[in-house]
Amino acid sequence: MSDTQATDSPLSGNVLFYSKPEPLNADTHGKLGVNQAEKPYSFVSGTNLVPLTVTEFAPAALSFPVVFLGQPKSPVAVMGLRQDQNLFVTEGGQYQASAYLPAFVRRYPFVFANDDQNQRMVLCIDRAAPFVAEGGTVPLFEGGKPSGFTEQAMKFCNDFETERQRTVRFVEMLEELDLFEVKEANFTPRNPDGTPGQVQRLAEYHAVSEEKLKKLPAKKLAELRDNGALGQIYAHLVSLLGWDRLVAMTFERANTAPPAANA
């Protein structure tokens, strides 16, 4: 269940990008609107990992590695090799047009928060978002009711929550089948004489083991194929070829960066 009404209940959960989430309601936010942002994706530039839902694996695989991280094995898009750098966002806050834009980013500045006391989800907005302001071009409320823009945002967040829950079940299924393994992404630089240099580890993560996948019974493989999971697994595996692209983009970014000023 979702709601846009005010609540006195404590909301739970900390979410990437959202520094000042507030339950959306007409009394507090009735005069707010959204303006066109000069740097629309600057809020993404400081992170290299963005959560993904399972239905995003295929389009995301064309742009960046899709890996599983942490104890919950949460799927994420790896968008840079440094924790504080997103290679797909320019210094001007623009997103690379040819790359897939995760739904986690597209829903911003809206998000659902858990109202544990009332056992419901409450639609919130990040009041710290620079493009949310009083008298904004696109109003959040009209006549004391959610505007068409806000209604669309609520539907998007509802759909995202559905996909998030589907993703949790997908990961649980992979764990039940014992398909995960720990993998490393490595980079071997070249010495000036052209010989291979010392191998550098870029990341350690969880991924589906191709060997374990091949050993599944034919009946189980057919089941994964029929429910669409096999396609998502292969999309994830193909995406792992994207580490080389991230390395190339990192060098390109470094080469185009302005020289540091002399002290």
Say if 260 falls within a structural domain. Answer: no
Distance CA 76, CA 65 (A): 8
Neighbours of 62 (CB within 10 A): 13
Does residue 235 sit within a domain? yes
Domain assignment present for 261: no
Give backbone dihedrals phi and psi of 24, rounded to 5 degrees, phi first.
-75, 125
Q: Examine residue 156 and state whether it is found in any structural domain, yes or no.
A: yes
Q: Which of 11-15, 152-156, 168-172, 205-209 has the lowest mean pLDDT?
A: 11-15
Is 216 within the bounds of a domain?
Answer: yes
CA distance 151 to 123: 11
- Distance, CA of 137 to CA of 139 (rounded, Å): 6
Q: What is the pLDDT of residue 187?
A: 82
133 found inside a domain: yes
pLDDT tens figures, 5-45:
333 333 334 679 999 999 999 999 999 999 998 899 999 99
| Angle (CA) 250 253 258, round 5° | 145
Q: Is residue 259 part of a domain?
A: no
Count of domains for the chain: 1
Structure tokens at 157: 């967040």
* SS3 call for 179: coil
Exposed / middle / buried, residue 93 (Cβ in 10 Å: 0-12, 13-18, 19+): middle
Examine residue 215 and state whether it is found in any structural domain, yes or no. Answer: yes
The per-residue b/e assignment along 207-238, b for 16 or more CB within 10 angstroms, e otherwise, is: bbbeeebeebeeeeeeebeeeebbebbbbbbe
pTM: 0.87
| Contact status, residue 80 vs residue 16, Cβ threshold 8 Å | no
Range of the domain at 139: 2-254
Report the mean per-residue pLDDT for the chain. 89
Q: What is the pLDDT of residues 237-256, one digit of tens each?
A: 999 999 999 999 999 988 87
